[in-house]
Amino acid sequence: MLEEAQRLNGKPLFDVYLAQAHYYQGAPAHAEELLGELRRSSSASAVARAQATLASFLAARGSRTQAEELLRAVIAGSYMDHHTAYSVGAAYAQLGQRQEALLWLRKAADTGFPCYSWYARDPLLQPLGGDPEFQRFMAVLQKSWESAKARYTPITHSTRRLDGIPFIVVFRVQVGCFILGAVDSSVGQCSIVNLRGDL
């Protein structure tokens, strides 16, 4: 199903999410292969996200030198967004560099990725779990998330089919966190495949 969603989407940025889905579903080698291919993209945003995400996966499997090389390239590069900053933070967490990890995770949250539920569940951030500064950061994210959750309309789901593939249409404003997305042009709505469980 993931490859079919990739075929339908056709955008290089989607491939980063596909690689993450494979990684979190227990196929890290395939995830790394996808990210390696994406590093040759002509899209600066796709390359930066791929390099940062790959750095976090490599750091998690103990390939410290490769992860650090990728981090240097991403940080020195011309493109940085909240997803890239998050992956840089996750890589630093896996490398045991808590202060650098927190710096980049704060940048990610402050620039558009304040997704408490993702930060709380991501196994790449587990090395930070006992850190008091990380716990304070998470408490602030949780409070913001709970406030937004109470403020916005509850999530609405409806199951649809896209070229014969079932998917879920999800409506949520700055509350949920999603891995994969596509647009159902027949109804003009954003469709999301949530591979991480409850939103």
Q: Would residue 198 count as lying in a domain?
A: no
**CATH number for the domain harbouring residue 53:** 1.25.40
Asked whether residue 98 falls in the same domain as residue 178, the answer is no
Q: Would residue 67 count as lying in a domain?
A: yes
Asked whether residue 49 falls in the same domain as residue 87, the answer is yes
Write out the two tokens for 34: 């996808």
Asked whether residue 166 falls in the same domain as residue 98, the answer is no
- In this predicted structure, the answer to whether residue 116 has a pLDDT above a threshold of 60 is yes
Sign of CA dihedral 60, 61, 64, 67: negative
Asked whether residue 100 falls in the same domain as residue 136, the answer is yes
**Using CA atoms, how far apart are residues 71 and 52, in angstroms rounded to an integer?**
6
Q: Would residue 128 count as lying in a domain?
A: yes
Asked whether residue 123 falls in the same domain as residue 161, the answer is no
pLDDT digits (tens, 9 = 90+) for 26-80: 999 999 999 999 988 888 999 999 999 999 999 999 999 999 999 999 999 999 9
Asked whether residue 164 falls in the same domain as residue 77, the answer is no
Residue 4 pLDDT: 59
- Domain residues for the domain of 161 are 156-193
Residue 179 pLDDT: 38
What's the whole-model pTM score? Answer: 0.76
Q: What are phi and psi of 80, to 5 degrees?
A: -150, 125
Asked whether residue 161 falls in the same domain as residue 69, the answer is no
Q: Would residue 199 count as lying in a domain?
A: no
Asked whether residue 48 falls in the same domain as residue 117, the answer is yes
Asked whether residue 181 falls in the same domain as residue 123, the answer is no
Residue 195 neighbours by CB under 8 Å, 6+ apart: 21, 24, 25, 179, 180
Q: Would residue 69 count as lying in a domain?
A: yes
Q: Would residue 9 count as lying in a domain?
A: yes
Asked whether residue 139 falls in the same domain as residue 163, the answer is no
Q: How many structural domains are present in the chain?
A: 2
Residue 123 neighbours by CB under 8 Å, 6+ apart: 24
Asked whether residue 123 falls in the same domain as residue 56, the answer is yes
Contact 148, 116 (CB under 8 A): no
* Mean pLDDT taken over the chain: 79
pLDDT digits (tens, 9 = 90+) for 126-165: 999 999 999 999 999 999 988 888 877 555 555 554 445 4
Asked whether residue 27 falls in the same domain as residue 123, the answer is yes
More confident residue, 144 or 14: 144
Write out the two tokens for 6: 């990739």
